[in-house]
Amino acid sequence: MDINVIKELIAVAKANGVSALEVEENGFKVRVENGIISSSVPMAQPVQYAVEAAAVQTVSQTEVPVQEAVTTDENAAGYDYVKSPMVGIFNSLKKLGRPEIKPGDKIAPDTVICAIEAMKMMCDIEAEVSGELVEFMCNDGDQVEFGQLLAKVKK
């Protein structure tokens, strides 16, 4: 059977949504089934080679001390942080054309301090703490993660 005939059979089966097609010609049998071709002509068996296992060398690991973040007394007491409740893109209110909240401004728990864009939707982020805004810890367009610090607020 000619290879072009086999290709035509596959194309016809695929175009017409045929799940299985079997053709026999001059003792040669071809079956096309969901894109799988099987033939009754014996195929050569693949040659298997024995592969020796490579020698494994054990490498000792050197321990390197990790520096832990040191919090100063100033950071430990007297400040609250606004954390991101979601993953998205940080946007300041100024960028959105709304009245801007700046460092030094007094804020209440219900004060909207920024917005996070996620899936083409803007979500206002409220401070959830009261005090004086010290600084934003993100810039416009920054990717933020869940729980990431967005703003520092003096109690």
Instruction: Report domain extents, the chain.
Output: 3-39, 76-154
Phi-psi region at 113: left, alpha or beta (left = phi > 0; alpha = psi -120 to 50): alpha
Q: What is the pLDDT of residue 34?
A: 65
Q: Which CATH class is domain 76-154?
A: mainly beta
Banded pLDDT at 58 (limits 50, 70, 90): low
Selection from 89, 83, 88, 84 nearest residue 141 by Cα:
89
Helix (H) or strand (E) segment spanning residue 75:
helix 73-76
Distance CA 96, CA 112 (A): 12
AA letter at 9: L
pTM of the model: 0.50
Selection from 79, 75, 82 nearest residue 113 by Cα:
82
pLDDT tens track for 24-38:
877 777 777 765 555
Non-local CB neighbours of 1 within 8 Å, separated by 6+ positions: 23, 25, 26, 28, 30
Q: Which phi and psi angles does 137 have, rounded to 5°?
A: -105, 10
Total length of the chain:
155
Distance CA 70, CA 53 (A): 49
Q: Is the pLDDT confidence value at 50 over 90?
A: no
